[in-house]
């Protein structure tokens, strides 16, 4: 899979990592366990949805390129 904008992915995963570390800190302190669990679930869900959307976008882009290439090959 091609990654077009690496900077945005790095920032996205750094923010995710900081949120997970903060949730681990809250869990270690023994306070606000429901907040840390909610943070982990939200970060995991956002990551899952983002990756699924990226895979769908890549598949549709590849299908479009394939259809355009087939059309050009039939002309030539």
Query: Confidence class of residue 75 from pLDDT cuts 50, 70 and 90?
Result: low
Helices (H), the chain: 6-29, 33-75
Q: Is the pLDDT higher at 75 or at 43?
A: 43
pLDDT, residue 2, reads 58
pLDDT at residue 45 in the model: 92
Question: What CA–CA distance (Å, rounded) separates 22 from 4?
Answer: 29
Q: What are the strands, taking DSSP E only, across 1-76? A: none
CB proximity list for 7: less than 8 A, separation 6 or greater: none
d(CA 10, CA 50): 13
Structure confidence at residue 74 (pLDDT): 62
Q: What is the pLDDT of residues 2-40, one digit of tens each?
A: 555 667 778 888 888 998 899 888 888 887 888 888 888
Tokens representing residue 64 in the block: 């479009």
Query: What pTM did the predictor assign?
Result: 0.68
In the prediction, which pLDDT does 3 show?
A: 55
């Amino acid at each position: 899979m091609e990654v077009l904008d690496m900077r945005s992915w790095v920032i996205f995963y750094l923010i995710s990592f900081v949120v997970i570390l903060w949730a681990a800190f809250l869990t270690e302190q023994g306070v606000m366990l429901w907040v840390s669990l909610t943070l982990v679930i939200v970060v995991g869900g956002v990551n899952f949805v983002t990756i699924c959307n990226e895979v769908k976008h890549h598949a549709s882009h590849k299908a479009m390129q394939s259809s355009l290439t087939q059309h050009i090959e039939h002309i030539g």
